[in-house]
Structure 1
């Protein structure tokens, strides 16, 4: 084989592309005979003079390799030979890249060719044309034509970085531009087991490069029984795990889902009232829109050509108004999660929205399908079966409400302000049936007759990509959240009712949102969000997760008298871990259930925090509860937030590292409203208004409260109100003799302000507390608190100045003494009232939110520095 005998065929010569130089990098190891075929396929190129061929002898022990490659160099001046000690395929390719950077400044394109593969005669001309005609494309990848064990993979269609992250569609024998290697993009020399080309393309994606299909590149790939590709598949999981860790930013949940949202959307939302379909994965953000007619065509194309076209994995039928409503109140992400989970075991999901007279969002599941539906969903698989069914009778029977159709029902109660009549078109199931009937009448309906089923076309059916992607994330589904993770905070609550923990969470979240932080409320264990209007202002979105029989907060092994959480459903817990990993900071607000996931979250670079409010006490007075669990899981917790300085001191005294503790002393959740007339507390001619407001739970000392009321309820100098309900324990039974006085909880701020403005004195005879918001709210309204000595109440008030603190062993007598004194001396009442108001209003939530934001920023910087140092050390070792 000499340059004299090479024939130049004008058939493949494109004069426009002449002089666009291509460098071909060919590593050689034990292919000294086959490399001659490879070289001949290059020499016969019409534009061979525009090519530089770089052979890298990777320490091949066969002397024929040296002889052969030297002979090539002696025949052609544009052939170069590099010999090195055996270092592997990646190192050999990198040697070729380094040679191009240093010695071949005119090379615009670099093509990687293995020594046992070959190039069709038109290959170089096709490469030059692509480089000239498509300057925006960074690299070009071919179809894979295998000889030996014959196979053909057609990778037609637009480049898809999401698919590239799931399966490798780019052969190493691809053409890249010089600008890619000028960013120090190289093959990973530690990867000796295969997939090094896949890793190379993932690195290219991370640098912002994009590929493009080039069908006429002309590569032929030799497939033998023991190729490296075969060996790679044997250690597939080991290599994938390495690549996930290496490309952690690419495989970070939010970034990965963003690629899916943009390039292979999971959901298709068919909006019947506007005849538009929106495709997306994160339904809280805008997706790709097309007409319903165009979507029907796309769906049929996906049925006929699943390797090239996708129409989404799940179809949701609703209206634009309902879709906008669910987005506006921040429920659509959670609903899409529920739909995807339910369709594992059901054919359909029906979401029905009902109006509620109170300010509550409630969820009911597992009831019978009534035909009413504001959103109706099914899977792509079932819709394909309906479209190809010989008869339409089955889908028409859906509205007959037979249980055999396996419809999972979700009922969502929303406050009336969200459910005006114009939003309540509940015919989504009917619209879904009509869509299916219309789909069956499409011009493309029916199975394609020209599909050759024994020829493998494309990477894989696109419908397989979602399931394959789960393999990168513990084998379970990914949350449909494509927002950037930085600046997202999840507050996880076990219930969202009348308690102080919920109020504190709402206050802190609301102020964080004002600082530009995105916050989410995640409810695990309960199915109702009280104070829904406040929740809308405090959080960007809300998720009400069904954790029944899946995770338990207080049923695991005991740690110093407090039972740890226990996972009952491992798959569900792994999905919850994926969901929570979409946040930069996850805060357990007395949600013991999630503490067992904190270790996994930290391994995914999520900052974990527990928000502590008080120590519980056992019946014999021993401390227990959430602070004890914080000690048990201290290794997995980055931040311990405390509602008071004294609780922070207690946690440090118990051995928690001080650097992890961040006190956020509670502030009032509401203050005096300017529109309200201040009460006159100095009047002696009216009864002293005495208020108890809060949970009717045993912790609150309700037996003591009953004893106090026994003494004063018939005394005309006092007027009594009891506001609240039992939440954690049936404490209301202790007050059964005063049941006629018990008023239901007040959730709205205006109602609470009115209650506080009525009161002169607040009673709180608790056995243990943290720093209760009730006391701070009352003080902000000028109410004089009489409380027992517990928790951090000494931080909130000064006894005798802004209220009264009574020793635990003198509770009933002490409370009665102070009530008697205040009833008799209204000037004293007025003075303490003013002092209480001044002290409480000096504690703003905005300052506490800034404190948490600043600590989060500090942790973010520290982690980035640690990660950079680790990467630098790894680089220096290689």
Structure 2
């Protein structure tokens, strides 16, 4: 079960697509907004899926009980060997379902909402819910060692019930463009001018206004550079107004949502992530694999992805001045920009390859379902067989 938007949905789709190739069946309960479209997308890939209505941002006792009943019934209908939940609310409901059905449950953290800097005044409530869910049992997957340590410190699970599985991306698909100029032209950009890009959901978490603020002084000093923003969300109008107020509307091109992120990332010389919190952001890993020079805020899994001054730049979240200075530094030094891009690509290939992620998931699921299900053996770093159902 998973929310149907953003990195959570992308992660679930990638994982289940790869597991299907080695013969693992799945059925996803697609929750909250975009559920019908997401379920249809999974179905096109040959994956079982159904939309289920859920209030994403609030506690809804009646609605949440309805979701719980559906998780219990679906796990029985589809003879599930294990229940996998992505995201905090899914994690609570899924672990409750596991207790009711006797099935093993894996809760994959997407971020850490029990931390005050992530959810502010709501953080104690998230902590209380996660602490209560500990009583249901289950296993937690964190995306980084940092997240594992934070989860242990918060006493949300015992050490033997937490595994670290780094997010993986398709490094064969996300790779540097053989002809970046042609890639720019295909996206309607000037093929001869470098591109600085921001791409993501225009939501408070992603802090798109911080990116706009960081450009106020940079843009004028680099008239040969193209600046773009790709994405959609609740803050689109606010972003457009901020660009207008800063006099940047003619210099920052809005590309809209990109259904094919490969095409967009292959046009970027520099990729900027301005988030205030993350788990381990998929788009950052995809940008690294695509050969972009990456500048990111130093939050959660971002520091696991990038090494500051080696494979990119890390700055404090909300510090738009530092973000602008980091951007200024790589725009003034093309050799440094290329150095970061090459190191980032190498790091993505060696640490964040999807094949390694899938192998670790297979190991975990095999250990949790020992005696009830037999999963294929997958060597880490090896391409999965194409022969599954």
Q: What is the TM-score of this pair, normalised by structure 1?
A: 0.37
Alignment pair present for 1:659 and 2:160:
yes
8 Å contact 2:215–2:324 — kept in the other structure?
no
Per the TM alignment, residue 850 of structure 1 is displaced from its structure 2 partner at its CA by 2.0
Task: Tell me which residue corresponds to 2:87.
Answer: 590
Could you tell me which of 803, 816, 827 is aligned with 2:312? 803
Alignment pair present for 1:493 and 2:5:
no
Alignment of 1:439-458 (within 5 A): none
8 Å contact 2:273–2:297 — kept in the other structure?
yes
Once the two structures are superposed, residues 317-373 of structure 1 have per-residue CA deviations (whole angstroms, 9 ceiling, x without a partner) of xxxxxxxxxxxxxxxxxxxxxxxxxxxxxxxxxxxxxxxxxxxxxxxxxxxxxxxxx
d(CA) in 2 for partners of 1:575, 1:621: 31
Task: Tell me which residue corresponds to 2:132.
Answer: 632
Task: Tell me which residue corresponds to 1:607.
Answer: 104
Once the two structures are superposed, residues 506-533 of structure 1 have per-residue CA deviations (whole angstroms, 9 ceiling, x without a partner) of 1211221222211222212234325955
Query: Is the alpha carbon distance of 1:591 and 1:827 closer, same or farther for their aligned partners in structure 2, counting shifts above 3 Å?
Result: same
8 Å contact 1:694–1:723 — kept in the other structure?
yes
Task: Tell me which residue corresponds to 2:141.
Answer: 641
Alignment pair present for 1:518 and 2:18:
no
8 Å contact 1:671–1:781 — kept in the other structure?
no
Per the TM alignment, residue 759 of structure 1 is displaced from its structure 2 partner at its CA by 0.6
8 Å contact 2:198–2:229 — kept in the other structure?
yes
Could you tell me which of 209, 227, 243 is aligned with 1:703? 209
Query: Is the alpha carbon distance of 1:532 and 1:801 closer, same or farther for their aligned partners in structure 2, counting shifts above 3 Å?
Result: farther
Task: Tell me which residue corresponds to 1:566.
Answer: 61
Task: Tell me which residue corresponds to 1:733.
Answer: 238
Secondary structure at the counterpart of residue 808 of structure 1: coil
Once the two structures are superposed, residues 209-249 of structure 1 have per-residue CA deviations (whole angstroms, 9 ceiling, x without a partner) of xxxxxxxxxxxxxxxxxxxxxxxxxxxxxxxxxxxxxxxxx
Cα RMSD between the aligned structures? 3.1
Alignment pair present for 1:820 and 2:328:
yes
Could you tell me which of 350, 353, 356 is aligned with 1:847? 356
Aligned pair count reads: 348
8 Å contact 2:30–2:38 — kept in the other structure?
no
Per the TM alignment, residue 675 of structure 1 is displaced from its structure 2 partner at its CA by 10
8 Å contact 1:671–1:777 — kept in the other structure?
no
Per the TM alignment, residue 771 of structure 1 is displaced from its structure 2 partner at its CA by 1.0
Alignment of 1:189-200 (within 5 A): none
Secondary structure at the counterpart of residue 84 of structure 2: strand
Alignment pair present for 1:690 and 2:193:
no
Q: Which has the larger radius of gyration?
A: 1
Once the two structures are superposed, residues 573-611 of structure 1 have per-residue CA deviations (whole angstroms, 9 ceiling, x without a partner) of 534421233322222212615734633433422111211
Secondary structure at the counterpart of residue 759 of structure 1: coil
Alignment of 1:309-388 (within 5 A): none
8 Å contact 1:612–1:626 — kept in the other structure?
no
8 Å contact 2:297–2:314 — kept in the other structure?
yes
Secondary structure at the counterpart of residue 180 of structure 2: coil
d(CA) in 1 for partners of 2:143, 2:295: 20
Alignment pair present for 1:787 and 2:311:
no
Task: Tell me which residue corresponds to 2:186.
Answer: none
Alignment pair present for 1:543 and 2:43:
no
Could you tell me which of 342, 346, 366 is aligned with 1:834? 342
Query: Is the alpha carbon distance of 1:802 and 1:762 closer, same or farther for their aligned partners in structure 2, counting shifts above 3 Å?
Result: same
Per the TM alignment, residue 747 of structure 1 is displaced from its structure 2 partner at its CA by 2.1
d(CA) in 1 for partners of 2:343, 2:58: 46
Once the two structures are superposed, residues 408-427 of structure 1 have per-residue CA deviations (whole angstroms, 9 ceiling, x without a partner) of xxxxxxxxxxxxxxxxxxxx
Secondary structure at the counterpart of residue 662 of structure 1: strand
Task: Tell me which residue corresponds to 2:277.
Answer: 768
Secondary structure at the counterpart of residue 705 of structure 1: helix
8 Å contact 2:288–2:341 — kept in the other structure?
yes
Task: Tell me which residue corresponds to 1:679.
Answer: 180
Alignment pair present for 1:668 and 2:173:
no
d(CA) in 2 for partners of 1:782, 1:571: 45
Per the TM alignment, residue 620 of structure 1 is displaced from its structure 2 partner at its CA by 4.8
8 Å contact 1:590–1:612 — kept in the other structure?
yes
Query: Is the alpha carbon distance of 1:829 and 1:736 closer, same or farther for their aligned partners in structure 2, counting shifts above 3 Å?
Result: same
Q: What is the TM-score of this pair, normalised by structure 2?
A: 0.79
Task: Tell me which residue corresponds to 1:860.
Answer: 369
d(CA) in 1 for partners of 2:64, 2:279: 33
Task: Tell me which residue corresponds to 2:75.
Answer: 580
Per the TM alignment, residue 761 of structure 1 is displaced from its structure 2 partner at its CA by 0.9
Query: Is the alpha carbon distance of 1:804 and 1:570 closer, same or farther for their aligned partners in structure 2, counting shifts above 3 Å?
Result: closer
Alignment pair present for 1:722 and 2:229:
yes
Task: Tell me which residue corresponds to 1:747.
Answer: 259
Per the TM alignment, residue 628 of structure 1 is displaced from its structure 2 partner at its CA by 6.1
Q: Which structure dedicates a bigger proportion of its chain to helix?
A: 2
Q: Which structure dedicates a bigger proportion of its chain to strand?
A: 1
Per the TM alignment, residue 731 of structure 1 is displaced from its structure 2 partner at its CA by 6.1
Query: Is the alpha carbon distance of 1:571 and 1:712 closer, same or farther for their aligned partners in structure 2, counting shifts above 3 Å?
Result: closer
